[in-house]
Amino acid sequence: MSFKSLFKKEKKEPTLSDIINGFGKTFSYNQVMDLLPLFSEIDRETILENINKKQNAIWDSPKQVKYYTEVHPYVPFASEHFEDVVKAIDIQDDETLLDLGCSVGVFIKKLTKIDRKGVKIIGIDYSPNALKQLEKELKAIPRQNYEIKLICQNFNKGVPLPNSSVDKVVSNWGIIYLGTEELNKALGEIKRVLRPGGKFVFSALVKGGANIQFESFDGFLTLIQSLFKKWKYVLKALQFEKKCRGYFPEYSQEKLSGMIERAGLEILGSKYTIKGKSITFVVKNPK
């Protein structure tokens, strides 16, 4: 029985304040979307505005910024994942890269360590606190060959860059937090700003991802050892995931593939990481 029909059957349709107060806890993002048709247009707008505010408050909270700075890059398997994404970006001399949802700059900081000339990076994020933290850290990094510009803006407002102005786009667990309509628009914006032949590296935590598979007993032991050594990071990451899960949409790999292709982009390949929790698509803007 669907969530919506459960309410209908008991004749206990949720009120506007039930939805607003229960968002993220009683009602997950996907459940609220399922219930939206029960409300008037004005109420739907109120609900969506409220969701956007709550999500922004999560990302911008000092606790979250601290988590992204001190824990996130060190969670087992995340560091390997980041290296994979950096490799997939494959930054070259004189390229312009757009990082959508750059936060405290895990990728920007990693890229500046690669010896390249004339690289320009534009990071967009709507968390002023995350960008402040990144600016502070960037001051301490010697990066004369990299020009970095940070823009504090909601993806919903589009990408403030001209057509075909970037060579590469990365969005690692960034635009994936948008609802379906906004995500479609964001993919359209990526297609617009990416030069023909340009590359887009897109990572997303997905529901029903690939299962954990071990090639050997040694592989299993390595996993246990790594979890044990870094148990504090694992615990914090699990707490974080549990807290945030209900506030954001969940997509399947199939749904995302369809959306990318409908935006006129071409999927060159994809790879599951984080033991099947995340998928990275390597995408091309066809010429």
Site residues (vs ligand SAM, CB under 6 A):
59, 72, 101-103, 106, 125-127, 130, 154-156, 172-174, 177-178
d(C-alpha 18, C-alpha 58), whole Å: 20
Q: Which is nearer to ligand SAM, 72 or 230 (CB)?
A: 72
We find the least distance from the C-beta atom of residue 124 to ligand SAM, in angstroms, to be 6
CB of 30: closest distance to ligand SAM in angstroms?
16
CB of 219 to ligand SAM, least distance (A): 25
Secondary structure (DSSP) of the chain: --HHHHHHHTT-PPPHHHHHHHBTTTB-HHHHHHHGGGS-HHHHHHHHHHHHHHHHHHHHSHHHHHHHHHTGGGSTTHHHHHHHHHHHH---TT-EEEEET-TTTHHHHHHTTS--SSEEEEEEES-HHHHHHHHHHHHTS--TTEEEEEEE--GGG---S-TT-EEEEEEESSGGGS-HHHHHHHHHHHHHHEEEEEEEEEEEE-TT-PPP--SSHHHHHHHHHHHHHTHHHHHHHHHHHHHHGGGS----HHHHHHHHHHTT-EEEEEEEEGGGTEEEEEEE---
Residue nearer to ligand SAM on the CB measure, 4 or 275: 275
Residues in the chain: 287
Taking the least distance from each CB to ligand SAM, the nearer of 72 and 277 is 72
Cβ-based nearer residue to ligand SAM, 156 or 222: 156
Min. distance of Cβ 81 from ligand SAM in angstroms? 9
Output the smallest distance, CB 102 to ligand SAM, in A.
6
In the complex, least distance from residue 73 CB atom to ligand SAM, rounded to whole angstroms: 7
- Complex with ligand SAM: residue 29 or 173, whichever CB lies closer: 173
Q: In this chain, which residue has its C-beta nearest to ligand SAM? A: 101
CB of 2 to ligand SAM, least distance (A): 27
Q: Which is nearer to ligand SAM, 6 or 141 (CB)?
A: 141
Q: Which is nearer to ligand SAM, 24 or 174 (CB)?
A: 174
